[in-house]
Amino acid sequence: MENIANTGFNLPDNNKKRIVIVGAGFAGLKLARKLAKSPFQVVVIDKWNFHQFQPLFYQVATSGLEPSNISFPIRKVFHQYKNLHFRNTALTGINTEKQTITTTVGELEYDKLVIATGVDTNYYGNKNIEQNSIPMKTTAEAIHLRNKILESFETAILIKDEKQQAKQLSIAIVGGGPTGVELAGAIAELKNYVLPKDYPELDFSLMKIRLYEASSRLLSSMSEHASTKAHQFLTQLGVEIHLNTFISDYDGENMKLADGEVLKVQNLVWAAGVGGSTIPGIPEDCMKPGNRIVVKRDNQVDGIANVYAIGDIAYMPTELFPEAHPQVAQVAIQQADLLAKHFIKDVATIFEYSDKGSMATIGRNMAVVDLPRFQFSGFFAWFLWLVVHLMAIVGVKNRLFIFINWAHSYFLRDQSLRVLIKPFRKKSTKASA
């Protein structure tokens, strides 16, 4: 592309064709790395300047890992490659006719545009739940949840009334998918083995961990075996499980069920669904429920030239997946791999997802694994979960620190990261009246 407009981006004008990747999650970062040393100028934009390893957010929220362990600076990945560029900004719109995007820092032209923005928490239009519940889709939100849990205990220890103590200590988790199940198990292990040592004055029988799921079973995207074993493991840890229970409203204190029952809830974690964000410039007829973008088998957005979508945001129905692919990391990684080949070799590609299996961990020696031909659970499933996730972490240093933390937690039944860190607010220098 000649005379490329670089308004607000300060990019080299080297006449290379430009591929712009929006989002540095599993899909976007994988695609950028695959395009390293390619003949393209590759520009990655993201509102965060680090890659976040989402499967381990719940361990940050429960003081098992430091936030830095699951976050990796994007620029560090790009150190060795002159054709890779990162800009810390957010997408605000697309002009598909001019082939430009608008962001919070300016406008940028593209030859190829790849949308890899992933998804965020889906509140299904309920503003009260959105405003008052606790989400967990970013590192910052995981830290916020950790603070909420620790603040609740610090508050509870100051209270004599048992009902008020129980209200502070108890946690409701909405959503029985992998996020909800893994978070419930991790909090239950904190309750059973860690927090009583920190707060010996508290009666932990008052602390209730309740998991609510609207469908008839946990881990509905996995096998019946995985669902049954997850239910057994959580019950063994002391989690109260409520199936076929739909949460219709929450005002910060009162949680309303679909049947009209109202329960008092101080801490409600919303893990009930995900959805994409609407992008100005993408026609409505290209969107599916959950704000997923309809793409063809080569991941090109249906009806729009030179615009692609990969990962969780992409909606690609196939014979094997008529309702589109599951929103998991492996789909994102495989789509990025294939799209990179399409760009570099300039050949037609057809994406076919190779399902390598799915897994979820509930607690120490407790996990479930679904492989294409068989399912299993228990210690070996838990060990396999550890290995797979450890190898998927970006950065050798991060892997080492995570391994040390996991080993420490396993042998000592302790997590040493229970630090309550609040945002800094400068004190007012004005004299009080």
In the CATH hierarchy, which fold is given to the domain comprising 18-119+276-345?
A: FAD/NAD(P)-binding domain (3.50.50)
Q: What are phi and psi of 3, to 5 degrees?
A: 55, 50
Of 11, 16, 34, which Cα lies nearest the Cα of 114?
Answer: 34
Q: What is the pLDDT of residue 433?
A: 44
Amino acid at 210: R
Beta carbons within 10 angstroms of residue 105's beta carbon? 16
Q: What is the pLDDT of residue 412?
A: 83
- Take residue 377 and report the two structure tokens written for it: 């659970």
- Take residue 216 and report the two structure tokens written for it: 């008839």
Residues 355-375 pLDDT 10s: 999 999 999 999 999 998 899
Question: Cα dist. 411→152, 327, 365 in Å?
Answer: 27, 34, 12
Output the DSSP codes for 30-89. HHHHHTTTSSSEEEEEESSSEEE-GGGHHHHHTTSS-GGGGEEEHHHHTTT-TTEEEEE-
Answer for the pair 324, 335: CB distance below 8 angstroms, yes or no. no
- Residue 179 buriedness (CB in 10 A; 0-12 / 13-18 / 19+): buried
Q: Is 92 helix (H, G, I), strand (E, B) or coil?
A: strand
Residues 277 and 292: their CA atoms lie apart, in Å, by 8
Beta carbons within 10 angstroms of residue 275's beta carbon? 18
> 127-273 has which CATH code?
3.50.50.100
Q: What is the pLDDT of residue 4?
A: 46
- Residue 369 buriedness (CB in 10 A; 0-12 / 13-18 / 19+): buried
Amino acid at 22: V
Answer for the pair 357, 369: CB distance below 8 angstroms, yes or no. yes
| Residues whose CB falls within 8 Å of the CB of residue 190, separated by 6 or more in sequence, listed in order | 62, 63, 149, 415
For the chain, how many residues are written? 433
Residues 212-252 pLDDT 10s: 999 999 999 999 999 999 999 999 999 999 999 999 999 99
Answer for the pair 111, 18: CB distance below 8 angstroms, yes or no. yes
Of 198, 142, 155, which Cα lies nearest the Cα of 413?
Answer: 198
| Residues whose CB falls within 8 Å of the CB of residue 48, separated by 6 or more in sequence, listed in order | 24, 88, 138
pLDDT over threshold 50, residue 254: yes
Domain ranges of the chain: 18-119+276-345, 127-273
Q: What is the pLDDT of residue 314?
A: 97
Residues 35-57 pLDDT 10s: 999 999 999 999 999 999 999 99
Residues 395 and 400: their CA atoms lie apart, in Å, by 9
Residues 112 and 35: their CA atoms lie apart, in Å, by 13
Q: What is the pLDDT of residue 430?
A: 54
Residues 366 and 381: their CA atoms lie apart, in Å, by 7
Residue 414: pLDDT band (50, 70, 90) is confident
Q: Tokens 């989402």 label which residue?
A: 54
Q: What kind and span of H or E run contains 262?
A: strand 262-264
Percentage of the chain surpassing pLDDT 90?
83
Residues 86-144 pLDDT 10s: 999 999 999 999 999 999 999 999 999 999 999 999 999 899 999 999 999 999 999 99
Mean of the per-residue pLDDT values for the chain?
92
Residue 1: pLDDT band (50, 70, 90) is very low
Residues 389 and 162: their CA atoms lie apart, in Å, by 40
Q: What are phi and psi of 384, to 5 degrees?
A: -65, -40
pLDDT over threshold 70, residue 290: yes
Question: Cα dist. 83→34, 50, 301, 328 in Å?
Answer: 12, 19, 25, 29
Residues 168-180 pLDDT 10s: 999 999 999 999 9
- Residue 323 buriedness (CB in 10 A; 0-12 / 13-18 / 19+): exposed
Answer for the pair 169, 209: CB distance below 8 angstroms, yes or no. no
Beta carbons within 10 angstroms of residue 381's beta carbon? 23
Residues 94-107 pLDDT 10s: 999 999 999 999 99
Residue 6: pLDDT band (50, 70, 90) is low
Residue 432: pLDDT band (50, 70, 90) is very low
Percentage of the chain surpassing pLDDT 70?
95
Q: What is the pLDDT of residue 345?
A: 93
